[in-house]
Structure 1
C-alpha cells in the first residue's frame, strides 16, 4: 500500500511538473481578431571579391573589396591568408616564398557592416634569391565572426 501511494504521488508530481503553460488567445466569436507577434531571422549575407591574381610588388599593400556586406553590427567578415609561407617559383624554376600578413590583426582583411573595402591592408614579405617573375597559389579563408 505504501509503495502504491508513493508511486501515485510520483506520477502526480510528474504530471503537474510537465504541464506547459501556453499563452494564446481563445477566440469564441465569429469575426473575432487577435494580434500575434511574428518573428523571422534574416541571415547575414556577403560577397567578398577574391581576385584571380594579386601583384605583391605594391609597397602600399593590397586592400580587398566586397560587392555586398549585409551583416549585423555584432558581426564582421574576415579573410585569412595561409599561416605558412606561399611557395612560389620563377620562369627558371627558382623557388621563393611569400609570407602574407596584416599589421592590424591576424586577418589580412576585415569588413564591418556596410563596408565594401577592407579596413586593413595585406602586405607580404618575399624571400627569394634569383631574379625573375615568381608565381604561386595562396588559399584564402573567409569567415563570418562575432565582434564580441
Structure 2
C-alpha cells in the first residue's frame, strides 16, 4: 500500500499498485466503492496485463482517510487523486474511471493534462441535466446520514 497527504493536514489518500510497463493505468472507483475491490478483476484480464496499475481509493472510500472537514466535491477528489499521481510519479497515464470516478478523472485531466494520456470512462455521469429520480445523481444528492439510514 502507498499513501500521500492530500489536504496539507495529514489526511492520506491511499492506493495499491501492481508493477508493469509504463505508462501506468490508474483505476478510479465510483461513489460508495473502492478501487482494488472494484477493478482488480478487470486489471487481471490477460489483454490488460503487463502494465503498471494503480488502484486509488478516493477520500472517504476504501483504505483512504475520511476527514470531516474535506469538501468531497468532484474538484476536491480530483485534487486528492492528483496528489496520489504526483507522489507515485505518474505521467501520461491511462485513467479508467467508473461513475463518479469518471467525473473525477475528467476534472483531473482538464486541470493537469500532463498526467493523463487517455481517459476510459464507464457510466461517468456526464448528463448536464440528470434525472431527479433513481440513479447515482439522485443518490449523490443525499447527505451521509440520509444515505446510511
Larger-gyration structure (1/2): 1
**Shorter-chain TM-score range:** under 0.3
With the length of structure 2 as denominator, give the TM-score of the two structures: 0.24
With the length of structure 1 as denominator, give the TM-score of the two structures: 0.24
